[in-house]
A and B are shown apart, each in its own frame.
Chain A
Amino acid sequence: SQTIHQWPATLVQPVGSPLSLECTVEGTSNPNLYWYRQAAGRGLQLLFYSVGIGQISSEVPQNLSASRPQDRQFILSSKKLLLSDSGFYLCASIGRGSRVDTQYFGPGTRLTVL
């Protein structure tokens, strides 16, 4: 079964600073990967998804970008953080080569922008 790692677990950053959050997946190859943001402990907003290396689809226009430099690595970035970027960021993965179509989630990164 696949394991999804995210780091850092928590991050406090000043407004205007850059951001880099990393997600890596073990136990599968060529997964579909997703970045979500969860504000105020409630609904999930899909930010980006990727069906392969270098293939990124953005769901909402915003201050963030994503990259997939390797098969099992997904990075969320920003050049200049805004207060509204605060939230809980979750990475998810659907593994290839299995019958299940289930998204599995990482442990998340809590980002606070001050």
Chain B
Amino acid sequence: AQSVAQPEDQVNVAEGNPLTVKCTYSVSGNPYLFWYVQYPNRGLQFLLKYITGDNLVKGSYGFEAEFNKSQTSFHLKKPSALVSDSALYFCAVRDMGQSNTGKLIFGQGTTLQVKP
């Protein structure tokens, strides 16, 4: 079965320090991977995606993610965290069993808390 796991419910980091939010996946074939961010009482905002090509993907707000096929991971990273990065982050993978529907399988989300 296809799945996405975000092993940490919450990640705490000090402002200015690097941050990593972890994501692992299980799909058949080549994955399409996505990261979204959600601020309180707001919709999800798209950050970045991996479809093919370079394993290091750069996205919005200085975020990047590294696709690692051997470890089936797609961790979200940022070199220097800001307090304003505090939010709920979702990793998602395209449901390849029904690729024409565009359906996504989401992880449970990781709350990022950046402290000044």
Contact = CB atoms under 8 A, between A and B. Distances in A.
Interface stretch (B11-19, B45-53, B72-80): B45-53
A79 B109 CA distance: 31
Nearest to A38: B38
Interface string A83-97: 000001010101000
A112 interface: no
Nearest to B90: A44
Contact of A43 (B32, B45, B94, B109): B109
B103 A41 contact: no
Contacts of A107: 42-43
Contact of B41 (A4, A32, A100, A110): A110
A107 B42 CA distance: 5
Interface residues of B, number: 23
B100 interface: yes
Interface residues of A, number: 26
A71 B106 CA distance: 26
B103 A42 contact: no
Contact of A49 (B45, B101, B106): B101
B95 to A, nearest CB: 9
Contacts of B94: 101
Contacts of B104: 46, 103
Contact of B51 (A42, A90, A101, A104): A101
Contacts of B34: 102-103
Interface of B: 32, 34, 36, 40-46, 49, 51, 88, 90, 94, 100-104, 106, 108-109
23 contacts: A34-B102, A42-B109, A43-B106, A43-B108, A43-B109, A44-B90, A44-B106, A51-B100, A51-B101, A57-B101, A94-B102, A100-B49, A101-B32, A101-B94, A102-B46, A103-B46, A103-B102, A103-B104, A105-B43, A105-B45, A106-B43, A108-B41, A110-B41
